[in-house]
Amino acid sequence: MSVKKIDSPEFQDAIRSGVAVVDFNATWCGPCRMLAPVLEELSDEMAGKAAFYAMDVDDNPDVAASFGINSIPYVAVFKDGQKADEQIGFVPKPQLQAFIERNL
């Protein structure tokens, strides 16, 4: 698996069923660039448990606004279309993995 880049039109389909991990980020955000490879690793290690997506908040301000996102990176876990939890800012891989597993 890998982290799939999505945009606003794809968002609802992406989170509709199962567990979806969505990384809201921006190209200019240093902590976002640090978090991206961590999410790539976790997407491989957690294949079959959760789907991983990335969304640029600058390109998709409507989705970002709908969740009140004003700090990035912002990682949200969705279960069957509903937001289950959120993690704001960069965190090391073990902490991020524990956050996702808590929400499976």
The first and second tokens of residue 69, run together, are: 């996102």
One-letter amino acid of 13: D
Candidate list 6, 21, 22, 32, residue with the active-site label: 32
Return the closest-CA partner of residue 53 out of 65, 34, 40: 40
Active-site residue 29, yes or no?
A: yes
The first and second tokens of residue 11, run together, are: 């968002």
CA distances from 43 to 20, 21, 59 (A): 11, 9, 23
Active-site residue 43, yes or no?
A: no
Candidate list 29, 42, 57, 77, residue with the active-site label: 29
* 3-class DSSP state of 9: helix
Q: Which residues are catalytic?
A: 29, 32
